[in-house]
Amino acid sequence: MKYFFLFLSTFAFAQQTKSVDFKTVNGHITINPNNKSINGDVTYTFEILKPIDTIKIDAQNMTFTDVELKGKKIPFTTNGKELLLIYPFQKGKNSVQFSYEAKPKQTLYFVGSENTDNLEIWTQGQGKYTSHWFPSFDDVNEKVIFNMDIVFDSKYEVLSNGVLKNKIEDKNITHWSYQMKKPMSSYLLVLAIGKFYKNTQKAKSGIPLEMYINPKDVVKQEPTYRYSKEIFDYLEKEIGVKYPWKIYRQIPVSEFLYAGMENTSTTLFTTRYVVDNIGFEDRSYTNVNAHELAHQWFGDLITAQSGKDHWLQEGFATYYALLAEKEIYGEDYFYSKLYESSMQLKQASKTDTIPVLNAKSSSLSFYQKGAWALHVLREGIGEKAFKKAVKNYLKKYAYQNVTTQNFFEEIKKVSNYDLKNFSKVWLESSAFNSEIANELLAKNKAMQVQLEVAKLRNKPLAEKYVFFEKTLQSDVYFTVKASIVGQLMKEKFEDKKQLLRLALQTQNTQVRQAVAGTLQKIPEDFRADYETLLDDKSYQTQEFALYYLWNSFENKRSEYLLKTTDWVGFNDFNLHILWLSLAISTSEYSGNKETYLQELVSYSSTNYEATTRQNALEYLINFNVINETVLKNLVNATTHHMWQFSKFGRENIRVLLKNPEIRASFQAILPNLNEKEQFQLDRLLKE
């Protein structure tokens, strides 16, 4: 029955777009962080194309007052999901005004607090979620020009789509006015509020590039945004169509749900990618940066008409991001990433039976297989023809919705390429064509070696030893050498010892990291070699090295802890949290264990971001350092808006509940939890 209602709603809205064309919206909103509510006044202008008696605006759990058509009150009703305007609408231009209030349960997120001076408020509307905080349209085919006025505390920066047209301070309150010139789908509407430092550059084309960062992370500004201008300039040139908006912003926000989100003119991304020079080696924002920027054309300028054509957004953004990285890191990098995704797709095709042209397909298919399809097409018709077709496609359908057929029509104008077979193989089949993929990969010399290494996977080490030895000593691209290390994982140590030493001698961070992560029990005669990894400029490598050395050599634990006392790591404190865990668990280490424990437990509390909390909780649980506070913090994790963290909380509680003593401890804390926490824990106790 639920599906039937969904079909009717979708059908009804599709019918509405044939009768009504919404043009602009002016929103004037105020946000209250104390009760996590929003209220405002909204004005929509629209044109009636055919007479209609009811107009729908999506609005989840909102209350409305003062609903007026051209200044006169009209009948309206709500059903918890929509605002229904009831009136005999006739052909012509109209405007409707109304006031609304909402307390969104999702989409508008409040992170931190004013009391702890870390308040951030941001939105994530992709899917059909903007209607939870702003009356709008869940249908991506209804594109509107958004203009937003936001009133908020003057201590904070307030950011939205488009150009900042006005900013008026009135005592402690500031009125921010943002204006768009072109239409967009509602899911691309954004709001971001926080204390940010701004750095502005200009693209070759003159577009302002605003790059924001938390003031405490200003020293990380350059490595975080490294290559941003180069990526922007490259994509404008490569795509051949000028950036379609007047400004481009990037803002890292705390506890963001995904890697990044391409809101029109304003990308939000996770603080995971806020890094220093060392962190850049492990967590570069470069790919996400390029991917979200590419979406400003593929997704924002033109938007897929339905989920079936979602690859027109994600496949294009993935491929153009890879092309941008090729410009920065070179051809070997480009082909190594194609090889990596080909391996993932080959493995996934064994179980994933849903092709790209299906709304229910996996992210791997939409993103990586979609990108592969474009690479095959580009190679098949030639770069010049491909670029011409893409340029024509973007210009023809600018600010509109598109289908795969629309794209194919532009390809047909520049080439006689067999699109029917192409679609059948790359878009309509669940299989991944490794034969074609390998032919294209083999155009690159490094990948020729990589493919040879892959063929040897199931061969005895003795048969491939000489080849591996020669390859590790060559100047072939580092990913090939890292894959050799990967093949050595299950081999006897004595048989592979010299190859591992050669891998370390490459002095390549990623190859050495492969050694660090694949040798979990370290023999004494390799200890000195392995200890050199502690000095690598990589937080990920250092984390592997410290843990595995500590675990392998009990008599040297204190020595390792003394050497690494001042380690901090990424912004989730990965190295310091590991250090605290090891220090607490090392009986002979002469430190204040109680102080260490208190600090480690504090990292699992709500004072820190979810990634930090999960990091701390993992070590606390793994080292069996569990007390009442840890259990409460674990339960709190189950209520978090980040599904990955809430899932982590639930899964670990399920395991811990198998221990009768810990189950009793959970039952003891239940009455002292808040309502959401009680609900989650009670449900888990009853499983």
Quote the pLDDT of residue 171. Answer: 87
- Structure tokens that stand for 677 in this block: 């926490």
Angle at which helix 461-472 crosses helix 478-487, to 10 degrees, equals: 150
* Confidence grade of residue 13 (pLDDT, cut at 50, 70, 90): low
Q: Report the alpha-carbon distance of residue 34 to residue 511 in Å, rounded.
A: 49
* Confidence grade of residue 6 (pLDDT, cut at 50, 70, 90): very low
- Among 287-296, 352-361, 479-488, which is the least confidently predicted range? 352-361
Is the pLDDT at 292 greater than 60, yes or no? yes
* Mean of per-residue pLDDT scores for the chain: 95
* Measured torsion, CA atoms of residues 556, 559, 560, 564, in degrees rounded to the nearest 10: 170
Quote the pLDDT of residue 8. Answer: 37
The residue among 226 and 10 whose pLDDT is bigger is 226
SS3 443: coil
Quote the pLDDT of residue 7. Answer: 35
- Among 109-113, 144-148, 190-194, 588-592, which is the least confidently predicted range? 588-592
Read off the pLDDT of each residue in 320-339 and give the average, rounded to a whole number.
98
* Confidence grade of residue 14 (pLDDT, cut at 50, 70, 90): low
In sign, the C-alpha dihedral spanning 488, 490, 495, 500 is: positive
Q: Where are the beta strands (DSSP E) in 534-618?
A: none
Q: Report the alpha-carbon distance of residue 612 to residue 103 in Å, rounded.
A: 28
Quote the pLDDT of residue 584. Answer: 95
CA 570, chain centre distance (Å): 18
Q: Are 236 and 290 in contact (CB under 8 A)?
A: no
Q: Report the alpha-carbon distance of residue 265 to residue 269 in Å, rounded.
A: 13
* Confidence grade of residue 2 (pLDDT, cut at 50, 70, 90): very low
> What pLDDT, in 10s, does the model give residues 629-663?
999 999 999 999 999 999 999 999 999 999 999 99
Is the pLDDT at 10 greater than 50, yes or no? no
Q: Report the alpha-carbon distance of residue 461 to residue 488 in Å, rounded.
A: 8
Q: Report the alpha-carbon distance of residue 159 to residue 164 in Å, rounded.
A: 8
The fraction of the chain above a pLDDT of 70, given in percent, is 98
Read off the pLDDT of each residue in 395-420 and give the average, rounded to a whole number.
98
* Measured torsion, CA atoms of residues 483, 485, 486, 492, in degrees rounded to the nearest 10: 150
Is the pLDDT at 615 greater than 70, yes or no? yes
Beta bridge partners of 514: none
Q: Are 155 and 195 in contact (CB under 8 A)?
A: yes
DSSP code, position 304: E
Quote the pLDDT of residue 147. Answer: 98
Is the pLDDT at 623 greater than 60, yes or no? yes
Read off the pLDDT of each residue in 89-108 and give the average, rounded to a whole number.
96
Quote the pLDDT of residue 76. Answer: 96
Ordered by where they begin, the domains of the chain are 302-443 (1.10.390.10)
> What pLDDT, in 10s, does the model give residues 154-185?
999 999 999 999 999 998 999 999 999 999 99
Quote the pLDDT of residue 611. Answer: 95
